[in-house]
Structure 1
Amino acid sequence: MTTPTAPTAPRTGSPRLVALVAQREITTRLRSKSFLISTGILLLVVLGGIIFSSIASANAEDPKVAVTDASVLAGVEGLEPVPVASVEEAEQLVRDGDVDAAVLPDASSPVGLKIVGDTDVPLGLINLLSVTPPVELLDPDPISGGLAYLVAFAFGIVFLTVGMTFGPTIAQSVVEEKSTRVVEILLAAVPTRVLFTGKVLGTSVLAFGQIALIAAMAILGLTVTGQDELLVGLGAPVVWFVAFFVIGFVMLASLFAATGAMVSRQEDIGSTTTPVMMLVMIPYFLVIFFNDNPLVVAIMSYVPFSAPVAMPLRLFLGTAEWWEPLLSLGVLAAATVGLIAVGVRIYENSLLRLGARVSWREAVASR
């Protein structure tokens, strides 16, 4: 069967045509109630997460500690002493779970005390009761492991959520136009590459707008809850994250548009877009799970699909040299240009082929 070819449209006025296609994509999406509702829910989740973390940290209860002599905890902050009459009573409270631990006299201990717990003792209890000399760090690292994980998770979940929301959306849009033969009408007015560019640009603008709303909501939440120090520390990394996100999302949008053109039915989209989803999800999980491994994070910061998460994380942790984000951004930009070229070829070779799924060989073959 002869494959139909796209009509040859005039190349003059291509920027205007690209803008018209992009405007059509944006308008169509903004009229969708599901898109507006999902965006609102995402913003509420971001704000709710910030408020919840602030409330949880403010309302965290001090560990309850049973003592036969309350004076042993005099001057120790962060503990709630529970006076008891005997060692046996203290141990029973520990067994019953009424207290987190007990601090009891012990003649054999160098400090005259021992800590009694059931299956464990509260984290940091030993440090609170210990006497240690002053510590001075010549190269201090103020970032805790827990905070590093939260920052990695925040960058990762934003990139993954937006990518997995708008990526399949652009693929579904391509398939819908293809299955309803609307694409033939569109190609009579604009060249294939203009249609491809406009769809990618329109979807990207929507994604960038959503990121801007998320950033504004996060800034508002952190400011209202008094977490200004974290906001200041995230300043430069967030700016770099936006730069990486812009280029990285254009790369993803191009791949989703191309793989969407390879099928003619909505139920077949997963067969071609799954590889793209895996290319995003696998590096994302690697960065999240190995956020405390400098070597893995350093490698991932130069992998195009994970660099938008890994490099801003390294900048937040202070483990990246000044030139590394520039090099990583260059690698991402080069990969994006190459993958856009591949995406355009797949899109052109597949868009007007109806029926069975277009094979990868046919999609990337030279015309």
Structure 2
Amino acid sequence: MTSAPWMTVARREIVTKLTDRTFLLSTFGLVLILATVLGVQAWMAGKTSEYAVVTSSSAAHQMAGQVETVAEKSDDKVLVTLEQVSDDDAARAAVEDESADVWLHEGDNGWVLTGRDDVPGDLLASARTAIRDATLDANATAAGTSVDALTSGSEVSTTFLDKDADLAGVAKAVGFALALLFYLASFTFGLALANSVVEEKASRIVEIITTKIAVRQLLAGKVAGNLALAFAQMALFVAVGLVGLTFTDYDRFLPAVSGAVGWFVVFFVVGFGLLACLWAVAGALASRTEDVQTTSTPLTMLTMGVFFAALLTSGTTQVVLSFVPPFSAILMPMRVLDGSAAWWQALVALAILVATAALVVRVAARLYQRSLLQTQGRLSLRQAWSTPE
């Protein structure tokens, strides 16, 4: 059974890209970078921090024992080893030759942690907690009371009205990643699509192609082929990211992230299809490759606007733009991810985006059809719209 003409064009677009070494190297290079970054983060998160503490007195050694208890209790990836030496000079020498990370000793008004060039932050925090608690306990005993009595009513806890703070951080990071993916896909594949159109137009190959298939079929095939490639590349990046997330401390958020990614996939397909049609028109309006930079400038600005809106907007502005195409292609999935949008809002935004995409496709098809075979020079939108078929 003979396939539809647009499917033949789509296959040609896909095969051309899959045999392009630059495309393959850039795709797998980005996958490698992403996997490396996630791997390093997972390794750092699972790495045990070891600290050697040296003391030069029995009192300091006893205090160091309490620091060890607090440090290892607060973080199971922290290991503290203790060593007591004969005097201060020996302790100072141990820090100098890096056989010890810090030297704990008494100062004029409390305790001092001496490091060679710095003191690890997590060890310092544990030392402050341990020394404070030990000092409070000693002072309370001397005053004939207890630490619990002295600190009663002083505890401070935190609660969140809307969402978990860690989830908010993950949502922000994932939202940025999704916005970046949409921007890269829209710009790189869109520009490649525009250049492909103008190259076929400049070489007059398109005149031969259009004797065999309708111009609208050619447009549909080009958009469908690039959409399939962009979707496959995006899905590859997202899959690597989700797998990488399972190896971090934030794996508990995977269900919430996966649900939002599902919405992103749907919005991505519609939003990219909308922009791809406009990129094809930008190529058809040009007569030379050099003209594409001019004809595609509004699209470049629009694509950048969507990306920066995802990064910079908040509050009411973000809510409004999350219903406005093509901004909704990114902002609504981001709102679903951070919990500020209900499922019905996503459906409403998607319906608006689909309706807008349908309108854009009709307009783009007319502009594409009427400008594709015009080779007398760069066309404006008004000229392309008024040109007879």
Taking structure 1 as the reference length, the TM-score comes to 0.78
Name the amino acid aligned to 1:359.
Answer: S
Deviations for 1:308-348, whole angstroms, at most 9, x for unmatched residues? 22111111111112210000101111111121122112212
* Rounded Cα–Cα distance in structure 1 between residues aligned with 2:109 and 2:118: 14
Q: 1:271 to 1:135 in 2, by over 3 A?
A: closer
Residue 347 (str. 1) matches residue 335 (str. 2): no
Q: CA deviation at 1:29?
A: 1.7
Q: 1:175 to 1:140 in 2, by over 3 A?
A: closer
Report the structure number with the largest CA radius of gyration: 2
1:248 to 253, 271, 278: 271
Aligned to 1:257: 280
Q: Is the 8 A contact 1:93 1:99 kept in 2?
A: no
Residue 296 (str. 1) matches residue 317 (str. 2): yes
Aligned to 1:327: 348
Q: Is the 8 A contact 1:50 1:221 kept in 2?
A: yes
Residue 194 (str. 1) matches residue 217 (str. 2): yes
Deviations for 1:259-287, whole angstroms, at most 9, x for unmatched residues? 11111211221111121121111121121
Q: CA deviation at 1:54?
A: 1.9
Q: Is the 8 A contact 1:47 1:217 kept in 2?
A: yes
Aligned to 2:196: 173
* Rounded Cα–Cα distance in structure 1 between residues aligned with 2:316 and 2:43: 35
* Rounded Cα–Cα distance in structure 1 between residues aligned with 2:46 and 2:157: 27
1:278 to 288, 301, 307: 301
Q: CA deviation at 1:53?
A: 2.5
Deviations for 1:77-108, whole angstroms, at most 9, x for unmatched residues? 259885133158977959964455684999xx
Taking structure 2 as the reference length, the TM-score comes to 0.74
* Rounded Cα–Cα distance in structure 2 between residues aligned with 1:295 and 1:333: 23
Q: Is the 8 A contact 2:168 2:338 kept in 1?
A: no
* Rounded Cα–Cα distance in structure 2 between residues aligned with 1:285 and 1:305: 13
* Rounded Cα–Cα distance in structure 2 between residues aligned with 1:271 and 1:134: 57
Q: CA deviation at 1:72?
A: 7.5
> Which consecutive unaligned segments of at least 5 residues does structure 1 have?
1-12, 114-129
1:29 to 10, 17, 32: 17
Residue 219 (str. 1) matches residue 225 (str. 2): no
The more displaced of 57-66 and 349-358 is 57-66
Q: CA deviation at 1:167?
A: 0.6
Aligned to 1:123: none
* Rounded Cα–Cα distance in structure 2 between residues aligned with 1:64 and 1:352: 76
Q: 1:187 to 1:59 in 2, by over 3 A?
A: same
Residue 336 (str. 1) matches residue 331 (str. 2): no
* Rounded Cα–Cα distance in structure 2 between residues aligned with 1:176 and 1:364: 22
Q: Is the 8 A contact 1:287 1:300 kept in 2?
A: no
* Rounded Cα–Cα distance in structure 1 between residues aligned with 2:246 and 2:25: 25
The more displaced of 315-324 and 213-222 is 213-222
Please identify which structure carries the higher helix content.
2
SS of corresponding position for 1:50: helix
Residue 75 (str. 1) matches residue 70 (str. 2): yes
Residue 52 (str. 1) matches residue 73 (str. 2): no
Q: 1:25 to 1:155 in 2, by over 3 A?
A: same
What are the within-5 Å matches in structure 2 for residues 66-105 of structure 1? Answer: 70=64, 73=67, 75=70, 77=74, 83-87=104-108, 97-98=118-119, 100=121, 103=128
Q: Is the 8 A contact 1:287 1:296 kept in 2?
A: no
* Rounded Cα–Cα distance in structure 1 between residues aligned with 2:366 and 2:54: 72
2:331 to 310, 317, 321: 310
What are the within-5 Å matches in structure 2 for residues 124-135 of structure 1? Answer: 132-133=155-156
SS of corresponding position for 2:266: helix
SS of corresponding position for 1:261: helix
1:184 to 187, 202, 207: 207
* Rounded Cα–Cα distance in structure 2 between residues aligned with 1:60 and 1:357: 63
Q: 1:304 to 1:137 in 2, by over 3 A?
A: closer
The structure with higher relative contact order (CA 8 Å, sep 6+) is 1
* Rounded Cα–Cα distance in structure 2 between residues aligned with 1:195 and 1:156: 29
The more displaced of 133-142 and 205-214 is 133-142
Aligned to 2:289: 266
> Which consecutive unaligned segments of at least 5 residues does structure 2 have?
81-101, 140-152
Name the amino acid aligned to 2:193.
Answer: I
Q: CA deviation at 1:64?
A: 11
Name the amino acid aligned to 1:356.
Answer: G
Number of corresponding residues: 334
Q: Is the 8 A contact 1:163 1:249 kept in 2?
A: yes
The more displaced of 300-309 and 153-162 is 300-309
Superposition RMSD in Å: 3.6
